[in-house]
Amino acid sequence: MIVRSFDEFKGTDRHIKSEGGTWESTRIVLAKEGVGFSVHETILYAGTSTDMWYQNHIEAVVCTKGDAELTDRETGKTYHITPGTMYLLNGHERHTLKVKEDFHCICVFNPPVTGREDHDENGTYPLLTEEV
């Protein structure tokens, strides 16, 4: 059994800030835990827009605080995301998150990330592996 407080990761290599400066993420469960998924607490900053495309991962996101507009770049459809809203990128959709108010969320990735990933020029995380 693993029991963790999000606070124990502040200032460690599990607390990541994006090179683009639009988000920070605390990686709570990673590939090295060997459970088949990863869990992150992520904050995207107000006034930013982030293009993403998880071509190697499925991601589920639950908003816990904040306000953002999610655009499915495949269809052009937009969604208003507020606390208590979940979205699932089960089709590897290219998407953009425009943040109106600091956006706090819990994210689950499958396959799990290693904690070293950042978005590339296409908004994609590389598929990195970790020995368990």
Convert the pLDDT of each residue in 39-94 to its tens digit: 999 999 999 999 999 888 899 999 999 999 999 999 999 999 999 999 999 999 99
Distance from the Cα of residue 57 to its chain's centroid: 11
Determine how β-strand 94-110 pairs with β-strand 86-89.
Answer: unpaired
State the pTM of this model.
0.86
